[in-house]
Structure 1
């Protein structure tokens, strides 16, 4: 493979030197570079596609680099069309670490709401109906005190100098204000951190703690009992910090009776210690390790991805150059808000929160980490930006459709609603861009859209970010139509600090993951065994390189060597297709294929993605097949309301009032009904060949669960675990045989 040179730049240098961005350059020229006014103007003009000729950009979003299309087995190298000569590693040379990004935000947006939570009132037994906020200035002070407390306590207990930064801070907590405070504290003192999923088993948590040799664990009290049971196996642990307050007697009891050689403190105690010490920050460099993010492996123990502050700063640059939020003056709020909903142990939420906290947004947290409380919190916070996974979107879609088709809604109202949605859908399918028409603003919004948005808490929502798994085009277009918002579907991995590419907000032809961002380059590699030709068809395994891409795995040279070649290309394992506009479409997964009895090769992830992308009635799917059988079976998670509506409209099946569990039991026990469900699903995946379609199913509401170790925390299927867990159901389906052999596929 011939070598190509990567030259890096910053967004401000790109703006200065690119003729396509001269309008932004002119706006910035009014201010002194490095001044507060300069960065305020910069932050308001960072969406590069909108700053250039947008129509021209939409037509060609990424371009092949000249002279890179001659390597056998590979496509040309593709870069974003706005910056084909250089890759972006930061917004500005003064903003090339997480510490600098937050410090700048704390200077510009000192009095803005920063971190907010709902407060529990013990006297009433209720949670507040509003968010209580701490400002950027307050959060900056608290995070510095906390960081000073952590570094002094841990080093004191290790008999190391107070300024030693050679240890890793572990965090085990659901999303909360203290999680972010700990992360910012680590950034302030050049401490790397790692996050443990609260749903991980004891074995995995032990593995990560011992691999990282972490001497300190910041933990919620709800997980404290679990942690205490395996503290003796944590060889390097010296300090436990409880996020929640504990009484003096509780602290004394735990320290005296449950801990040996380990000391438990509360976070407030550590913060107070730090405030008394008043240690100066130890700012990180771009090459400083920011976090070790453990990928939720589908087989074996997870791999630790080393992500530096350079990775963080380039990920923030990627986000801020793509998230086209309106200026605050044009919104109903004094600033932008984000609901920190996805787990912070998930790299996508880390990226979104980093973007928010470098932009002066307010980050709110759910009072109870349970999706059933999501709408309640949304109605109170009313965010302007939010990240979700597809199954949340499909649940919202199902709820809206169910509400519109309810027996309580008059036929006239139903007809008006459906006419509006049909008009919106037709408009978005015929042309791109936001709907600025008068009929939309003064009729559609007043009659329907504002009411739907209000019910969901999306009164102020401007952008929704979708990641982690495929979502159907039908769902994307329906949600865009009934909410009249921008929905951006992206693609990325832990190894690329989440977003690697992201779709344009109001594109007419939805379904892609957009072009590679300005912080990376990609190329495709042919996979002959799976029939993918990168040279001729622009289909193959996605390889990526650049400031956002991983350099190595933590203490795992074998994994590093297997995934990253000598030129720095990281093999994602995902099969992609590059369309004429230079956008990426994810179509398959490398290596996950097997052979059926008749000799046909099956790529299960491609099939699963096809069902998930085209069947809004389902939220989960695990495809199973083996060389002794001639057909595929599946474990499927259904969206009850959506499935009931589809069954009613296609077959006249009336099952109103059924509880979800009753519906599941009815489908699994009634062969004729199961055939109807399967036929509906298979109609939606017409592009699959007959042998790729599912012939029998077992359904559940959420059959694949993290706590059962069937899926990873980022919702990837653990195939071997699923096959064992659902062994009885799989045997039963094969014994029952194909439900559709007599039907034409």
Structure 2
């Protein structure tokens, strides 16, 4: 048996156990960094640190506080908060108390939050602030199981008329109760951790889904213990790394990142404010970061727009450098695959050196100057954008997984990564491709099932453990997986041709530097159309150059000049497509798609049915007068 197999097969029953082991091994090592805004809001944030021992003091206090409140093993504790240090400490406190975390995105409305709280039977809600408390208070009559709301921001932990006594308390109050409990029962938390079994429920994560009510995915402690060991076994993270963590921790991907960190013991800098990413990267100087494709698309569009704003010569240099980056990445990756050496011919190396001095080095500095790799997941990254960053020295390792598989089922292996694929399965995970092309997975990361939904579970989980992902893919001879589409998202034209909308959409994002979101439509139609939303800051900067500066976003989008601009990119896209894939007509949307209006999931995936329903009039307009209309 290999060392990797031994490490994975001899894993402990829970990440709570791993956490206790990590604190014992490196008590004084730096565990977390987090920002504290300046008094009065003026000036840069102050970054503070917690050692593993300091983190453990708070984690054990939270765990003991929950035990003191009467929380029992596997009872659900909901967490409704953005990504911040308190989220991680609270989640670890829930686990060390033997309870199970139910995650709620802070953007979730009161009705859906109440549904999750009720369906999960959550006993306690740990809420970020007054806004999250208000949602629970509004729906309290529907939540008889909800005994307490613990508020992270102490100033927001105020009781209101009608609240039961003791219903609202601050996180500081909970920790104080926990510390008092530990004075009388110093081993209470470690004793509770010792009782945790691998099949005990650790996390109940509700899929944001694209249709219908979210389903609660039951993930036992063993899933996270396995993920911690398996991600470290890939060699992608080491004890010397500094991770920048901004992803929503309510998402399953975030949970993988915190589990792997505990196993290996590196530093994680935590700040979920998306508008602070560009500012934080040069301060934190991370060695790796996980993100969703939309972030890389925004960076790419921003770099392209900045070059365009610098004048024709600068934009030509950027376009030339982007071409060099893509060619260099393709050649070096191909040579690595064949020879094990990421080499390029002399002439290409020379061009790359010039492009690096002019363009690429500045991009790397913007990422902090030490970025060894970025991991991209949740949705497909357009290969041309992946090749651009690879050639610029920002190595984006695409991965793949679902909430139902604890997120990280596949990841690209370090130097041997291949843009356009999601890499190889994690050690211990099995994969096979069904006759219809669907990807099936089996292994320790697969869920127990959907909470309270045995029929829905039986639809996707076979008795022998094989999970039906609903995604279509292809495996290379040496085990690299390429996702081609969602099984349910493949569309068939009235001419009988199958089209992958995601593939066409990804190609357009690589072609057009102004796009934010695009939805390709064509099911049962005789040609394809597209709904396109533009990135507001980028298109408004372009509009300023065109003398349209006084116009609003909606007015800019409706302007003939903007229509002509986008039409040029659509024509460029169509040149590389088959006739039946090409976009014959498009409409620009009057505003960008967003999470708040329910058009994107919190992990920024497109909710196709929602968008198609909302903009049905534009779709009908594009097909008006055709034989099928």
| TM-score normalized by the length of structure 1 | 0.74
Matched, 1:468 2:378: yes
Provide, for residues 525-545 of structure 1, a one-character-per-residue CA deviation record: whole Å limited to 9, x for no partner. 122xxxxxxxxxxxx000111
Aligned to 2:220: 308
Change beyond 3 A, Cα 1:608–1:90: farther
- The separation in 1 between residues aligned to 2:107 and 2:283, in whole angstroms, is 27
Matched, 1:400 2:303: yes
Aligned to 1:452: 363
Aligned to 1:216: 124
1:115 shift after superposition = 2.5
Provide, for residues 648-692 of structure 1, a one-character-per-residue CA deviation record: whole Å limited to 9, x for no partner. 9xxxx995575697576445442x863662453354366654333
Aligned to 2:388: 478
Provide, for residues 337-390 of structure 1, a one-character-per-residue CA deviation record: whole Å limited to 9, x for no partner. 222211001111211122123322222232xx5422211122221211111111
1:237 shift after superposition = 0.7
Aligned to 1:70: none
- The separation in 2 between residues aligned to 1:605 and 1:463, in whole angstroms, is 25
- The separation in 2 between residues aligned to 1:660 and 1:489, in whole angstroms, is 41
The answer to whether the Cα contact below 8 Å between 1:660 and 1:701 also exists between their aligned partners in 2 is: no
Provide, for residues 274-305 of structure 1, a one-character-per-residue CA deviation record: whole Å limited to 9, x for no partner. 11111422112222211011111211111111
The residue matched to 1:246 in structure 2 has which SS? helix
Change beyond 3 A, Cα 1:702–1:143: farther
The residue correspondences of 1:406-417 to structure 2 (distance < 5 A) are 406-407=309-310
The answer to whether the Cα contact below 8 Å between 1:286 and 1:310 also exists between their aligned partners in 2 is: yes
1:110 shift after superposition = 1.9
1:736 shift after superposition = 8.6
Matched, 1:107 2:24: yes
Change beyond 3 A, Cα 1:573–1:611: farther
Aligned to 1:32: none
Aligned to 2:270: 365
The residue matched to 2:69 in structure 1 has which SS? helix
Q: How many correspondences in the alignment?
A: 608
1:143 shift after superposition = 0.3
Structure 1 vs Structure 2 CA RMSD? 3.5
The answer to whether the Cα contact below 8 Å between 1:146 and 1:271 also exists between their aligned partners in 2 is: yes
Change beyond 3 A, Cα 1:414–1:560: closer
The answer to whether the Cα contact below 8 Å between 1:168 and 1:216 also exists between their aligned partners in 2 is: yes
Change beyond 3 A, Cα 1:595–1:95: closer
Change beyond 3 A, Cα 1:481–1:565: same
Aligned to 2:279: 376
Provide, for residues 616-674 of structure 1, a one-character-per-residue CA deviation record: whole Å limited to 9, x for no partner. 653322233465x53333222334687899xx9xxxx995575697576445442x863
Task: Flag structure 2 segments of 5+ consecutive residues without an equivalent.
Answer: none
Q: Which sits farther off after the overlay, 441-450 or 391-400? A: 441-450
The answer to whether the Cα contact below 8 Å between 2:58 and 2:89 also exists between their aligned partners in 1 is: yes
The residue matched to 2:264 in structure 1 has which SS? coil
Change beyond 3 A, Cα 1:479–1:190: same
Provide, for residues 554-590 of structure 1, a one-character-per-residue CA deviation record: whole Å limited to 9, x for no partner. 1110111100112111000000011233211111221
The residue correspondences of 1:331-730 to structure 2 (distance < 5 A) are 336-366=241-271, 369-407=272-310, 425-432=326-333, 449-454=360-365, 456-482=366-392, 484-507=393-416, 509-527=418-436, 540-593=437-490, 596=493, 604-605=501-502, 607-609=504-506, 611-612=508-509, 617-625=514-522, 627=524, 629-639=525-535, 655-656=545-546, 665-670=555-560, 674=563, 677-678=566-567, 680-681=569-570, 683-684=572-573, 688-700=577-589, 703-730=592-619
Aligned to 1:199: 107
- The separation in 2 between residues aligned to 1:357 and 1:657, in whole angstroms, is 53
- The separation in 2 between residues aligned to 1:658 and 1:511, in whole angstroms, is 38
Provide, for residues 194-216 of structure 1, a one-character-per-residue CA deviation record: whole Å limited to 9, x for no partner. 10111222222111111111110
The answer to whether the Cα contact below 8 Å between 1:470 and 1:613 also exists between their aligned partners in 2 is: no
Provide, for residues 220-266 of structure 1, a one-character-per-residue CA deviation record: whole Å limited to 9, x for no partner. 1132223211122112111110011138xx63x42xx0413661110
Change beyond 3 A, Cα 1:609–1:393: closer
Change beyond 3 A, Cα 1:659–1:355: farther
Matched, 1:182 2:90: yes
Task: Flag structure 1 segments of 5+ consecutive residues without an equivalent.
Answer: 1-12, 16-47, 49-87, 156-163, 329-335, 528-539, 739-745
The answer to whether the Cα contact below 8 Å between 2:238 and 2:266 also exists between their aligned partners in 1 is: no
| TM-score normalized by the length of structure 2 | 0.86
